[in-house]
Amino acid sequence: MKEFTGADLIADALAQLHVEHVFAIVSIHNMPILDAINRLGKTQIIDVRHEQAGTHAADGYARASGKLGVMIASTGPGTSNTVTGLYEAQYGSSRVLVITGQAETGFYGKGLAYVHEAEQQVPMLASVCRRVESPRAPSQLGPALQNVLTDMYTGRGAPGALEIPIDIQYAANAPMGIQLPDNDQFAPDESKLDLVINALQQAQRRILLVGGGAIAAEAQGEVQALAEQLQIPVLTTVDGRGVIPEDHPLCIGNYYNSAGMYQAIADADLTLAIGTKFAVGVDGQFAAQTPPGKLVHIDIDSNMVGRTHRAHIGLVADAKLALQGIHQKLSELQANDAQFTDKILHAGEGIRQAMRGRLGTDWPQVMDCIRDKLPADSVFVRDQTISAYNWGNQQFPILTPRTSINPTSGAIGPGFPMSVGAAIASQPSGSKALVVHGDGGFMFHATELATCAQYQVPLIICVFNDSGYGVLRYLQQSRFGRINETDLGKVAFAQMAESMGVPGERVASVEAFSDAMDRALAADGPYLIDVDMEHFAPMEISVMPKKKG
């Protein structure tokens, strides 16, 4: 019988955590771990083409499934490549674990130019992780892994990392049980909960603002029940989309930061904000957009409550547990003022239609085509691109939780690899994922087309091709009256995809796009649609206001 090693401990721990897929690039400094995973046979390794893409894929996997996302990298250059993916995961409160190697303990810290030597790897990872551990002896490996996981799963989600010297991977070890903390420690304080109930009782014109924290807490049922019981209109952040179906009569969607909506809700006497950081946009956008009425802010992270806007009542609690506490006393609460709720819902519909009108004649049809043909439980991913800003992030209806993913940090490029991870996570549903991408950002990780082909990833890749960085091109023109370094030339993405084993086609009309969607959905694995935006009626671009001063 083969000796149980440190690498076996890692493989067994992943199986205990029900991690069905990990993303990896093989190296001399992680081979024992990959071998142990394959010998155990309970977790499938997905061989990505770049560590940054693999970390983004692990992030998409985590967001779509609610499970731990894992990237296994090599020490030194391989690990440095993961940092951008960990940065995005940190921004998005996503539980992504990077496991990497390290020089063997006898050479670590000696400055002997050991291959892939990275003596400052721990502080580098710590800049984008909540916790990083580096065991120095076989007996420290299990506790180190447990410490990282405990921090990642305590409160708001966050990434973590574990570096394992190569000799510890090979060394004899012993199995250990992995225990994840539960959120009972984040049950609401009863006295604070009474203050929340009292504030809800006194208010008649309430609004709900719900962020990604409610989805992370799996509180979608509680959110919808509260909204229906009290007839409160529901606004979401971009990461909170899907917490209530966007075709629900009380759901306004991701329009809180719209100027028209902010004006419509101005006479609200209470804002109940759940699981949101009140993120501030470029040039300080939204920082001065004070929530109307009394602000009741519920979040699992005490650092976030009242940070951007002063909270009249702050409750540090798990969103699901807090809402369950509120529901226990729902009978004491009166429904919202009907006239106020109707006004907000009417304003939301007006804003939606006005935004749709600015899309021109073709793009609303493209959006409707995707929604009509894509199953309700398909994951819809967007990169930072014109199509996302103008219709993907607000106009496209999201119907179920964990089916809306975008780069929370605002980065260009993570969308495609995140969609790869999300598609792999959602394979059991039988529904394909779809990603909306710009051509500029797509080139960051285009080599992952080969990963899609290798594993027949069920993913539709829509590249909206305007031959450059369209969002930045628009901003440059509006701010400087000229463009600089944003034209990239037109790439034949369908041919690129086919060269890596992914079928694809270029389309130049709404009708051709609709037909391509049918072929993409019928294909067994991935399919790329290169949308030549030059041949579509233009849309009015409105990303953010012109910088003042």
Map residue 275 onto helix, strand or coil. Answer: coil
Architecture of domain 6-171: 3-Layer(aba) Sandwich (3.40)
- Looking up tokens 């429904």 gives 335
Cα dist from 252 to 212, 345, 542, 543, whole Å:
16, 7, 20, 20
The whole-number pLDDT of residue 482 equals 76
> What does each of the 549 residues of the chain score in pLDDT, given as a tens digit?
579 999 999 999 999 999 999 999 999 999 999 999 999 999 999 999 999 999 999 999 999 999 999 999 999 999 999 999 999 999 999 999 999 999 788 777 767 666 667 789 999 999 999 999 999 999 999 999 999 999 999 999 999 999 999 999 999 999 999 999 988 899 999 999 999 999 999 999 999 999 999 999 999 999 999 999 999 999 999 999 999 999 999 999 999 988 899 999 999 999 999 999 887 665 555 566 889 999 999 999 999 898 888 999 999 999 999 999 998 887 778 899 999 999 999 999 999 999 999 999 999 999 999 999 999 999 999 999 888 888 999 999 999 999 999 999 989 999 999 999 999 999 888 899 999 999 888 999 999 999 999 999 999 999 998 866 666 766 776 777 777 776 677 889 999 999 999 999 999 999 999 999 999 999 999 999 999 988 999 888 766 544 444
Whole-angstrom distance, CA of residue 454 vs CA of residue 450: 6
Tokens for 520, please give them.
Answer: 């993409």
Whole-angstrom distance, CA of residue 423 vs CA of residue 28: 29
What residue type is 44 in one-letter code? Q
The whole-number pLDDT of residue 279 equals 76
The whole-number pLDDT of residue 36 equals 97
Burial of 3 (0-12, 13-18, 19+ CB in 10 A): exposed
Burial of 67 (0-12, 13-18, 19+ CB in 10 A): middle
What residue type is 197 in one-letter code? I
| CATH number for the domain running over 186-352 | 3.40.50.1220
Where do the structural domains in the chain lie, given as residue ranges? Answer: 6-171, 186-352, 358-535
Are 255 and 394 in contact, with CB atoms under 8 Å apart? Answer: yes
The whole-number pLDDT of residue 104 equals 84
Are 246 and 223 in contact, with CB atoms under 8 Å apart? Answer: no
The whole-number pLDDT of residue 510 equals 97
Whole-angstrom distance, CA of residue 53 vs CA of residue 414: 7
* Domains 186-352 and 358-535 fall in the same CATH topology: yes
Predicted structure pTM score: 0.94
Whole-angstrom distance, CA of residue 32 vs CA of residue 72: 11
Whole-angstrom distance, CA of residue 350 vs CA of residue 354: 6
CATH fold of 358-535: Rossmann fold (3.40.50)
